[in-house]
Amino acid sequence: MIGGGQAGLAAGYYLRRAGLDFVILDAATEPGGAWQHYWESLRLFSPAMYSSLPGWPMPPQAGAQYPDAQHVAAYLAAYEKRYELPVQRPVWVAGVKRSAEGFTVHSDAGAWSAAAVVLATGSWQRPFVPTVPGRRTFTGRQLHTYGYRRASDFAGQRVTVVGGGNSGAQIAADLAAVAETRWVTRRPPHFLPDDIDGRALFGLATQRVRASADGHHHAGVASLGDIVATGPVRAARDSGLLAAHPVFARLGADGPVWADGSTWDCDAIIWCTGFRPDLAALRPLGLRQSRGRIPTDGTRALEEPRLHLLGYGDWTGPASATLIGVGRTARTAVQQIADLIRTPHA
């Protein structure tokens, strides 16, 4: 197993139950996955009981209906300890290569032979910033969601937040009270109904899976909206502090420049423009195709049935990038691995 965040731990839980010999290699120095690096005001979309890994419900956070990132990181650390999962860290995996036994996993801490490999590295280490004309000429501060921590770091400043997803809306709302903020989106933001939270989103993902299995189309979240109206987002939106502006054409030295020539000088730009799957460890296998992805059937790589990719969103299982959703795909992946390993001459 490569990766010790929520996906790696969920798979570890099922590997332990299956009685398989395994190790989890994690590049981080501390447990908690990406949750230990998120911004301070971030909250889950669902109460703790609806945001749990398999086997052990997340304890509620005192005084908070929706737990914060620090609470989630602590839960993951406790989960790892509770099930005595064999995590070795920090271990940086340089590459996975084929071998007579299956694979050899090369790292800065040595090499491991494996009959099967699960890649669960997520995407946090691969922030994406689009190519924008003039981006290198802007003289202010630029950072990605990856580097954002707290609104107070920008108090009294003028900040441009780029990105129409949940992170863009949440960070723009976070900043609105302390900084003059302009939220820029490629298309008009589409908010989910105010009563929709993570529980409903997981239900929609489940319906989409069932519909797909029956050969039907299910529009899912796209038919409702894209942005969860959390309390802070809803408050900023309703007070008029979260009005979106169309995306700019280029950047000048002082800030964005729109196609009509209008400008908005600012001190900082925060790129809330998403992440890409961290697949670097699999480069020696030569499996990546169009758009940099590896063709899969569920989590299993089509050209390497002993290789599974877990926790990368709908690509490798609906809702598999969520705490509650990853358990389902982890269970299936481990069952497939166990069946393959235990089949003679597999």
> Which pLDDT does position 220 carry in this prediction?
45
CATH class belonging to 141-191+226-271: alpha beta
Counting residues of the chain whose pLDDT is more than 70, the rounded percentage is 90
Q: Tokens 């108090």 map to which residue? A: 155
Q: What percent of the chain has pLDDT over 90?
A: 76
At residue 214 the predicted structure's pLDDT band, cuts being 50, 70 and 90, is low
Question: Predicted confidence band at 205 (pLDDT cuts at 50, 70, 90)?
Answer: low
With a cut of 60, say whether residue 345 has pLDDT above it. no
What integer pLDDT is reported at residue 317 of this predicted model? 85
Residue 221 pLDDT exceeds 50: no
Using CA atoms, how far apart are residues 85 and 151, in angstroms rounded to an integer? Answer: 36
Q: Is the pLDDT of residue 224 over 70?
A: no
**Per-residue pLDDT averaged across 135-145, rounded?**
97
pLDDT computed for residue 319 by the predictor: 81
Contact 32, 26 (CB under 8 A): no
Whether this prediction's pTM lies above 0.75 is answered by yes
Give the 3-state DSSP-derived string for 104-158, with helices as H, strands as E and coil as C: EEEECCEEEEECCEEECCCCCCCECCCCCCCCCCCCCEEEEHHHCCCHHHHCCCE
CA 40 to chain centroid, in Å, comes to: 17
Q: Among 37-46, 114-123, 189-198, 311-320, name the one with the lowest average pLDDT.
A: 189-198
Cα separation, 153 vs 171, whole angstroms? 12
pLDDT at 225 over 50: no
Helix (H, G, I), strand (E, B) or coil at 322: coil
Give span(s): CATH 3.50.50.60, the chain. Answer: 6-126+276-342, 141-191+226-271
pLDDT at residue 210 in the model? 53
- Block residue for tokens 């992946």: 333
Q: Which residues pair with 164 in a beta bridge?
A: none
Q: Does domain 6-126+276-342 have CATH number 3.60.15.10?
A: no
Q: How many CB atoms lie within 10 A of CB 180?
A: 15
| pLDDT given for residue 191 in this prediction | 86
Convert the pLDDT of each residue in 264-319 to its tens digit: 999 999 999 999 999 999 999 999 876 778 999 999 999 999 999 999 988 898 88
Ranking 9-13, 71-75, 176-180, 230-234 by mean pLDDT, the lowest is 230-234
| Beta carbons of 25 and 341 less than 8 angstroms apart | no
Helix (H) or strand (E) holding 338: helix 323-342
Average of per-residue pLDDT values in the chain: 90
pLDDT at 218 over 50: no
